[in-house]
Structure 1
């Protein structure tokens, strides 16, 4: 992970970039963020001062594009125009990593949600084929994120873990390990998150997500990205460090976003976990 200056180092801490934070980040070079993630759909063909400010940041820090709308599990043909635009944006900014969600979000138009997939061998082949198509076009591995889901399909024959492992193997792609999604799913669908972690192929994990969640009055959890990281998710980060060693770790906070100093404070809580693992 450390050989490419455009790739986050193993102990790097990252933040999802918001356009409104650009002036503050540029005015504070010692902001403590090692790498950034952005949704390319929000930046492609965007000009003016924000585009210039973004270029200043991408020249100084590793970035990862985290897509919102490729719909890798969807029924419609892949949006090749979107892939071409993402490829051009990544080339322009020297970005070498592109992640997407293991879900579908479009069908004759955007659905504006990440919807679950049937956990079947047929869907494994469908998704893996689309991932390979994207990888062949981009000439780089696609990074797939384990996503939170709140319902399933009766004819699903595989567990979430079995499905994820099968997709990673058949598509020969990489993994974005979202620890909050893992915790949310483990509570909602009644499985052991630590067992899930131990079964993951370490060599395929590129980076990790941390985020906050909410608890519904009936007890199930919702992946909201609108609050501080909860203690059980920090525990999963510590367990991940024990199993895999330090990995680039990024804080997501997409709703009810606090001021930048509060985000930076939350982000720096990752470093003691990394250092504790390194000193063990």
Structure 2
């Protein structure tokens, strides 16, 4: 198996959720090339669940995707969280760690991803925080473009902001294809143009997920449904723009049986194989 410079295994990945643990362990075949999990959901887990988790990590390569670092917030980064995450990554031999290019609360944890103004000041400030994280974890930090439902006053577009942070911090991107599509509907713009603007050499891997149509012109990045057709089309275009990248399927709510997720994993793999063969 090829491992990209970012530490992400090549191929197709699946987001690990506790409801999938038994099915993944009981499956006779390896259903994905790697699993992605939020370390906050597994740090300190012991007992029977911890032993089952360890059995799965011995079978699948892992990457980690954080939820609560508050990377773009203004409060100091949590040194306790960084220590816990570093210990978890070391224990499970995880090379790749990603987080959202957003805030999630300063005086309290909001458990949501909030946009920040797209300004030069925030580019420099967030790049500095990325370097702090990398020093603490002794690993590169991969940042993810996020879904949003409003735009704060700023000096640049989302694409310009993301590219500026990538350049200033000299880091890599987790390109969420569904988020690009959701933002194009909610905030306007062309998702293809956003993805085209991302620097290919910095795209480490991709996320695919479903969304919820709340009302005309408003899509919620729920991760609670199958991937929509326009997002599949956008994934194929993304491979055409940036080449085949490791691609992960996320499902956080309304999680079906593993057998219902397999066709989506197989569709990702077919698009990857078709693009490589072309």
Give a deviation string over 1:3-26, Cα, whole Å, max 9, x none. 57994433x111111122222211
Give a deviation string over 1:188-226, Cα, whole Å, max 9, x none. 222121122222111211111000112222322211111
Match of 1:79 in 2: 78
Match of 1:261 in 2: 259
Q: 1:67 to 1:120 in 2, by over 3 A?
A: same
Once the two structures are superposed, the pairs formed by residues 215-254 of structure 1 within 5 Å of their partners are 215-254=213-252
Matched, 1:200 2:201: no
TM-fit CA distance, 1:127: 0.8
What CA distance in whole angstroms lies between the structure 2 residues aligned with 1:161 and 1:129? 20
Aligned residues: 278
What CA distance in whole angstroms lies between the structure 2 residues aligned with 1:4 and 1:162? 25
**Retained in 2: the 8 A contact 1:211–1:225?**
yes
What CA distance in whole angstroms lies between the structure 1 residues aligned with 2:249 and 2:125? 31
Match of 1:34 in 2: 33
Give a deviation string over 1:32-86, Cα, whole Å, max 9, x none. 2111011100110110122112212222221111111000011110001101100
**Retained in 1: the 8 A contact 2:100–2:145?**
yes
**Retained in 1: the 8 A contact 2:6–2:204?**
no
Structure 2 unmatched runs, 5+: none
**Retained in 2: the 8 A contact 1:212–1:227?**
yes
Once the two structures are superposed, the pairs formed by residues 1-280 of structure 1 within 5 Å of their partners are 2-3=2-3, 7-10=7-10, 12-154=11-153, 156-280=154-278
| TM-score, reference length from structure 2 | 0.95
Structure 1 unmatched runs, 5+: none
Give a deviation string over 1:164-205, Cα, whole Å, max 9, x none. 000001111111000000011122222121122222111211
| TM-score, reference length from structure 1 | 0.95
Q: 1:264 to 1:3 in 2, by over 3 A?
A: closer
Give a deviation string over 1:65-108, Cα, whole Å, max 9, x none. 11110000111100011011000001101111111001000212
TM-fit CA distance, 1:109: 1.6
Q: 1:130 to 1:8 in 2, by over 3 A?
A: closer
What CA distance in whole angstroms lies between the structure 2 residues aligned with 1:171 and 1:88? 24
Any idea what SS the aligned residue of 1:113 has? coil
**Retained in 2: the 8 A contact 1:210–1:252?**
yes
TM-fit CA distance, 1:235: 0.7
TM-fit CA distance, 1:159: 0.3
